Structure 1
Amino acid sequence: MLSIKDQIAAVKGALSAPRIGTYEVAAGTNGDEDPSALNLYLWNAQISGAFLAPLHICEVVIRNAVADALEPKYGAKWAWTPAFEQSLPSPSVGYSPRQDLFNARRNAHTVGKVIPELKFAFWQRMFTSRHDVRLWDTYLLQVMPGLDASKPVSQLRRGIYDDLEEIRALRNRIAHHEPILTRNLADDFTRITRLIAYRSQVTADWMTSHHEKQVQEMLQNKP
């Protein structure tokens, strides 16, 4: 039977010393028989897993909300409409929403097949000011009826963009198996819930009824 020291050394070797080193610093590990770093690593993996379903639901809800605004503006085949193509930025350096659209529709024959192929960044970039006049001034409150209609559309749209920026960062760290332990994860869960509720309060309530307790308990039991 392995000693604690040997077990820690084996796991550290398998996962890599630099990776575990991040958790050793965070946990204040004291000596080669202290399992605190591995405990924190495991907790990080588990809390990351607890966020997967809420993130999934949020992303699908947001992209469907955008699609529901695009259809009355650009038509049922909006993904192939020249007017929509031209509305998208196409920078020569960095992420290009227009190129993302071209890539997503290359082997697709329906809008329903294009939607899941578009990157998260595409949906976030739809909430920039360039789309206010052509899209959000008319359709934002229609596709997200949970928003506060007393506030300017530009303010509401910017709030969605900012929430999506935080969620995108969380999503990417989880996808790449990186630490999320320094984030305010309670705030992240609130953002996810809020965005879903803008679209459908019933859906937000359904999500939280299945996932909020697990997330809260894990946050309370952080090593």
Structure 2
Amino acid sequence: IRNGAVEAIEAVFGGNWHLNRGFVYTLPAPARGYRPREDLTDCAAKLPTAGKVVAELKFAFWRFLFLKGQQPRIWDPHLAATFPGYDKALTLSEARARLFDDIDEVRKLRNRIAHHEPIFARNLHEDHQRIRRIIEWRRPDVAAWLDSTQQVTALLSRRP
């Protein structure tokens, strides 16, 4: 997710995208909760390179890049190149929205796991499908490899 987003951002804002005020001001600055604009400016002020900034930004940051407001600037021109396996039956807007929804659900799953909270009530099959879809859209060859090595599907079928 993050590498695809970085490729698209760099295509629009250049290699120093993390310092580009035009990009920074496209990010939301909500009064409460996670603040992607603030997170980026804090990381950019402390870290010497875009690569270091990418590594430090929270997973939630990348989700914000798939908001509708980024559609014309980033995703209309670059979604097909950065997520070449996306479902071509969808419009670019629908594909971006699907990515946003999938990323948000994966983020929720990740947060529950990271905080040692139960995930048994979740539809884990659907979570697996979302993760696989993101991988397939980003790198179809990696999704094919994953299909040949993963054991999650068999494990979920044995779930009580």
Place the TM-score, normalised by the shorter chain, in its bin: over 0.9
In structure 1, the residue matched to 2:78 is: 139
- The two structures, once aligned, show a CA RMSD in angstroms of 1.4
Q: Could you tell me which of 135, 157, 162 is aligned with 2:96? A: 157
5+ long unaligned stretches in structure 2: none
Confirm or deny that 1:72 pairs with 2:5: no
Q: Could you tell me which of 120, 128, 140 is aligned with 1:189? A: 128
Give secondary structure in 2 for the equivalent of 1:177: coil
State the 1:208 CA deviation.
3.1
- When structure 1 is superposed on structure 2, of 104-113 and 196-205 the one drifting more is 104-113
State the 1:133 CA deviation.
1.1
Confirm or deny that 1:217 pairs with 2:151: no
Structure 2: distance between partners of 1:197 and 1:148: 10
Structure 1: distance between partners of 2:90 and 2:111: 31
Superposed CA offset, 1:181-210 (max 9, x none): 111111111110110110111111223333
Structure 1: distance between partners of 2:156 and 2:88: 34
Superposed CA offset, 1:62-114 (max 9, x none): 00000000011001110111111111111222211101102222321111111
In structure 1, the residue matched to 2:29 is: 90
Structure 2: distance between partners of 1:81 and 1:148: 31
Structure 1: distance between partners of 2:11 and 2:73: 11
- When structure 1 is superposed on structure 2, of 140-149 and 126-135 the one drifting more is 140-149
Pairing 1:39-54 to 2, within 5 Å after superposition? none
Confirm or deny that 1:113 pairs with 2:52: yes
TM-score by length of 2: 0.93
Aligned length: 160
| Bigger Rg, structure 1 or 2 | 1
One-letter amino acid matched to 2:13? Y
Structure 2: distance between partners of 1:117 and 1:193: 24
State the 1:150 CA deviation.
4.2
Structure of higher RCO (CA pairs closer than 8 Å, 6+ residues apart): 1
Q: 1:150 to 1:210 in 2, by over 3 A?
A: closer
